[in-house]
Amino acid sequence: MIRLKSFLASTSGRVIVAFLIALALHLLGTVLIDGYSSSFSIRAMLVIASLLAVACVGQTLVVVLGGIDLSIPFVIGFANVVAAQLYGEQWNFGLVCVLVGVIAILIGAFNGYVSRKLDIHPLIVTLGTGMVVQGAVLLWTAGFPSGSAPQAVSDFVSIGGSVGPLPFPWVVPCLAVLAVAIMALMARSPYGRRLYALGSNPGAAPLALIDPVRMWAVTFAISAFFAAVAGVLLLGFTGSAYGDVGQPYLFQTIAAVVVGGAALVGGRGSYLGTIAGVLVLTEINTLLIGLGFQPSAVQAALGFIIVVLVSIYGRERHVSATI
């Protein structure tokens, strides 16, 4: 019993449990809903999960660092609208993506720098910055964004797309490659070691020659960049610009990271766990919608899950307090 409790409290244990929950939810949906496990349904869930997983890259890194990024949905909306608007004005789409990516990186670096340098909680900084970004986009478009994505981007995320003999679009295998790269970055690179060291013991990290301000700026910049990537991909998925397209990701990114075993106090977590959390949330969404629940009820259910998980995982002591 003690070993089981210790296993469930570990990061790897939580990851395994999250994958098992996702599997159980899928089996439940297969039993209750006709066509739940059809090829089209599975493709749709994989695409939706891939889009959420891209947006969760930065949130995973930020949470391990000991912060939180509430600007992600606003940066998603910014990238979605700006990319569509500029492409609609005949800009080269490659140039548009570079511009959007650079601006997103600057937004994220600002969030991290101000949060750490001025010792202001990132929840306040990122939420405030996000609202400024959203307001600027609304002023620029007068509240009526226009434009669309190139056909290549739409094909990249199309549910009906395929990669050779594989029955899913390019976004799914590309996410798999990205996941391996992010996991290697966190586990094998100097950046990853500094990330966990700073998240585990912020006070001692500077003694190991880790620059906290630089790490926070870089990590939040990465978070904003992948939020922008998600915004562009969502433009291809939906077919048109929408400033609030990122709003469902406000808490879903946090929930996915927590469900996957990350500790909100920092120092613990993995992107593999986040992938598991993404699958759990995608299954819950699909299952509730398939059972006829209204979007508001689905949102309420997700909110309840977040509260429960935060109440469980958010109460644990910081890693430095257990040493």
- The pLDDT value recorded for residue 316 is 54
Angle between helices 271-290 and 39-65 (to 10 degrees): 140
Most confident of 13-17, 32-36, 110-114, 282-286: 110-114
Average pLDDT rounded to a whole number, residues 68-83? 96
pLDDT of 310 reads 61
User: What pLDDT sits at residue 6?
Assistant: 57
Give me Rg for the CA atoms of the chain: 19
Q: What is the pLDDT of residues 107-121, one digit of tens each?
A: 999 999 999 999 999
- The mean predicted confidence, pLDDT, of the chain is 88
Check pLDDT > 80 for residue 302. no
- Predicted local confidence at residue 261, as pLDDT: 84
pLDDT the model gives residue 298: 80
Give the rounded percent of residues in the chain with a pLDDT score beyond 70: 91
Cα 81 to chain center, whole Å?
Answer: 19
Digit-coded pLDDT (tens) for 31-66? 999 989 998 899 999 999 999 999 999 999 999 999
Measured at the CA of 21, the angle between CA 20 and CA 24, to 5 degrees, comes to 85
Residue-range domains of the chain with CATH: 15-311 (1.10.3470)
- Is residue 10 predicted with pLDDT exceeding 70? no
Cα–Cα distance between 311 and 142 in angstroms, integer? 41
Q: Is the pLDDT of residue 213 over 90?
A: yes
Q: What is the pLDDT of residue 207?
A: 77
Residue 319 confidence (pLDDT) above 50: no
**pLDDT reported for residue 320:** 46
Q: State yes or no: pLDDT of 29 exceeds 70.
A: yes
Tell me: pLDDT of 5 over 60: no
Helices first, then strands: H and E counts in the chain: 13, 0
Percent of the chain's residues with pLDDT above 90:
59
Note the pLDDT of residue 1.
56
Average the pLDDT over 270-296 and give the result.
90
pLDDT in the model for residue 147: 83
pLDDT of 146: 84
148 versus 206: which is more confidently predicted? 148
Residue 323 has a pLDDT of 45
pLDDT at position 80 is: 95
On the CB side of 43, CA atoms within 13 Å amount to 16
- Main-chain dihedrals φ then ψ at residue 163, nearest 5 degrees: -115, 95
Residue 311 confidence (pLDDT): 66
Please tell me which residue, 193 or 161, carries the higher pLDDT value. 193
* CA 84/CA 81 separation, integer angstroms: 5
- Of residues 294 and 129, the one with the higher pLDDT is 129
Whether 230 contacts 49, CB under 8 Å: no
pLDDT score, position 142:
82
| C-beta neighbour count of 215 within 10 angstroms | 21
